[in-house]
Structure 1
Amino acid sequence: MAAACLIQVSGSRLPAAYVEAPFPSEPAIMSPDIQTEPNVHLFDARGVARRFRHSAIFGAVGVLRSGETMRFVNDHDPLPLINQLHERLGEHLTVTYRQREPGAVVVDFGISDLPVE
Structure 2
Amino acid sequence: MCISKPSCKLINKFLMLLFVIGCVEVYAQAEESKTVTITVGKFAPEGCELLGKVKGSSKDNETEDRTASYTERLIKARVNLTHEAKKLGGDNVHILHSNNSGKYEIPGADKEIIHIGNVYRCY
The TM-score with structure 1 as length reference comes to 0.29
TM-score computed with the length of structure 2 as normaliser: 0.28
Which protein is richer in helix relative to its size?
2
The structure number with the bigger radius of gyration is: 2
